[in-house]
Each structure stands twice: as C-alpha cells, then as structure tokens.
Amino acid sequence: MTTAPPAGQAAPPRVPPALFVTSPTSAPAPEAPPLPPVRRTPLAVSGLLAVALTAYVWSAHGARPGVLLLLGLGLGVALFHSRFGFTSAWRQLVAVGNGTGLRAHALLLGTTATLFALVIGTGTGLFGSQPAPSGGAIGVGLIVGSLLFAVGMQLGGACASGTLFAVGSGQTSVLLTLGGFIAGATLAAWQFDLWKDLPAWEPVVLSDHIGWAGSWAVTIAALLLVVLVTRRVQARRNPPPVGAVPSARTAAVRAVRGSWPLAAGALALSVLGAGVLLVSGGAWGVTSAFGLWGSELVGALGGHPENWSWWRQAGNAEMLAGPVLADKTSLTDLGIMIGAAVAAALGGTWALHRGIPWRTAVASVLGGVLMGVGARLAGGCNIGAYLAGVSSGSLSGWLWGAVALIGTWAGLKLRPLFGLGNPKPGDGVC
C-alpha cells in the first residue's frame, strides 16, 4: 500500500536503480564539435565501390555471399558511427578506471548472447545453414595468444574490427597495423607445426550442460556483475570523461552523418552479427581472412602455401582453394572497410593521415604482427574469440577477455617506448 504525500508537499523524486545512474567522472562530458562538410570525392569512390562489389559478388557467387557483403557494409557503418572500440575501452579502464567502454561491451555481449540463444537454440538458419556456437579450446595457445593480441592492439592502436573501420576511414597509421596483422597471421599459418600441439583441453560450452536457457541466464548474470564492478571502480577512481567526436544537433542527421551513442552501436552490431550467424551458420569473425590474404600473396609471388600444414586442415584447404570473394570472413572484412569509408565521407571526417612518426609506424607494424600471431594461437580475436565466445556461452571467451585485460596493462607499459601516450587521471578527457 502506498501513501500519498500531504497536500501541498511535492512527492520526493524517484531515484533510479543504481545500475542506471550515470557513473561519475572528474569533469562533465565535453560538447561534441560540429560536423565538417561531406567529403564528396571519397563518398563517390566508396559508394561506387560498394555498389559495384555487391553487384559482382551477387552475380558471380550468389545471394548468400552477397548478403554477407551487405552485412559487412552495415557493420562498417555501425562501427564508425559509434566509434565502437575494444582497444580504447580496455585502455581507459586499466589506465584511469573509466568503464564506459567496457559497459558498452557488456551490452553488446548480452544482446548478442540473447540473439545467439534464440538462433542456435531453435536451429534457425538461412540458405540452408546450420547455426553453431563458437567454443574454443582452453589451453596454452588461448592464454598466450590473447595476451599477445592485447599487447599488440595497444601498440597498433586498434583491435581487429577497429583496424578495419579505421583503415576504411583513412587512418594511414592503422593501414600499417593491418599490414602487420596480415603478416603475423600468415607467419602463424606457415609455422603451424610449431604451435599446433600446445597443451589444451576440449571447449567448455554451457549449453552442452545446462541448455540454451541456462547458458543465457548465466551469461547475462555474469555481464551484470561486470557492469556493477566497472561502476564501482569508476566511482572510486573518478576518471576523466571520454572525449567527444564530431556530431550533428538533430537526431535525423546524427543517424546518417553524426556520432551514435555507444549503446546504439552495440545494439546495431549485435543485430548485424546475428545476421552473419543466420546467413553463414557461424559467428562473425575477422582474422581468418588475414591469413588467407597473406597466403594468397605468397602464392602469387611463387610460394606454395597449399603445402603448409595449416592449409591442409579440414575446412582450411577449401578456403584457400576457393575464391576470396566467396569467403565469408573476407566478405565481411571488405564490407566493414568500405562501409566505414562511406560513413566517414558522409560525416566529413575521411582523411589520409600523413607524416607518421617513425616510432609510431614501428609500433603499428609490430602491434599488427603480435595481433596476427596471437589471434591464430588463441583461435580468434576480440570478435571471433571474445565476442563470439562469450555470446555462445563458451568459457574460452571469458578467459580470452580476462587475459586481454592483463595484456592491456602490459601494452600500456610499452606504449611510451614508441612515443604513444596513455590516459592520465588529470586529463581533460580520456
């Protein structure tokens, strides 16, 4: 039973649950700068490329690859508009205690886990696909690989998905990271015999033990715990706010040209990622294509990657023998870069960065190599191992994320050696 307040006395304001109260920062969030004009030439080039590539893939390889390319284009648009990052989120949390980015991860993971449970739990697939969870083996390769990957992304300045949308938006230094990424993935494939027998246990996927409803419930509970812990850390450390990016003043223009809230980006990415699962039967991934591209280049230069043990594995041989533009991961990766280019040109921020300091260039290449090797050892990156693993209820995804936090700390210690800065408590923004 509720009691009305006495006449003439206002009711006390309702206090929202602690989970939804804005976490404190040492200063108010800065105003977003206004948008620059549309970059017409990059927009025309990237738009024509998107249309031409989609038409070619659809006509040459069919509807399924064509839809995957369209999903990749959507992923690129969503990643750029929301500036959805994994590298910066971990860096801000470890360096100054700002958990804004990691809470966005939790929303992405929770929404994706919900959609995965619905899709995989009901066996729903398109184009004859059979959706399956992503469960990685738990062992030395996972631990060492995720550690190397996390160090690499702090040096290279981007994660796997971040590398793609940054390259699409014209960030030249990250192009060096992508080159190192491809080289590292190719090196790991070439030397597969050196690391294929590292000690490991079979994957642990919760749905195999407690069903998809139980797996979903445990995953959501764990993610809520992550949110509460990051809020507690942020309240104690009172970090600087996250910097603002150019945006528009009206919602309609922001949807097309401006920046999106991280929550909007998380929801869009989860829906598009579930679309990849529906169409292909497997979760969205990024890094397997890098090894394929590098190996194709080795073959074009006279090498014989088809003789490598990696490409004689079940499934890998078909990938190498088939056309690149029919490969699921290559299609979504190319789509992300082109989609990000379209979005950046519309937003007026597409630009080639020149005059990269040599230490930054070295860090970019080295970081890319570490990520390429690490992703292969760990069985995936921040998307294929972390996002897909956690969303599938796999213990490997949680372990990947935990080790990545340790690797982030190590990467932050190395960044100053290459002239790269870290967030500090006294900064205006982080």
pLDDT at residue 196, as a whole number? 94
pLDDT at residue 115, as a whole number? 98
Q: Are 387 and 112 contacting, i.e. CB atoms less than 8 angstroms apart?
A: yes
Q: Find the range with the poorest average confidence among 10-19, 131-140, 142-151, 382-391.
A: 10-19
pLDDT tens, position by position, 166-205: 999 998 889 999 999 999 999 999 999 999 999 999 999 9
**Rounded to whole angstroms, how far apart are CA atoms 93 and 245?**
19
pLDDT tens, position by position, 212-270: 999 999 999 999 999 999 999 999 999 999 988 888 888 888 889 989 999 999 999 99
At residue 284, does pLDDT exceed 90? Answer: yes
pLDDT at residue 15, as a whole number? 41
pLDDT tens, position by position, 115-132: 999 999 999 999 999 999
Q: If you average pLDDT over every residue of the chain, what do you get? A: 93
* Burial class of residue 320 (count of CB atoms within 10 Å of its CB; 0-12, 13-18, 19+): buried
Mean pLDDT of 81-88: 94
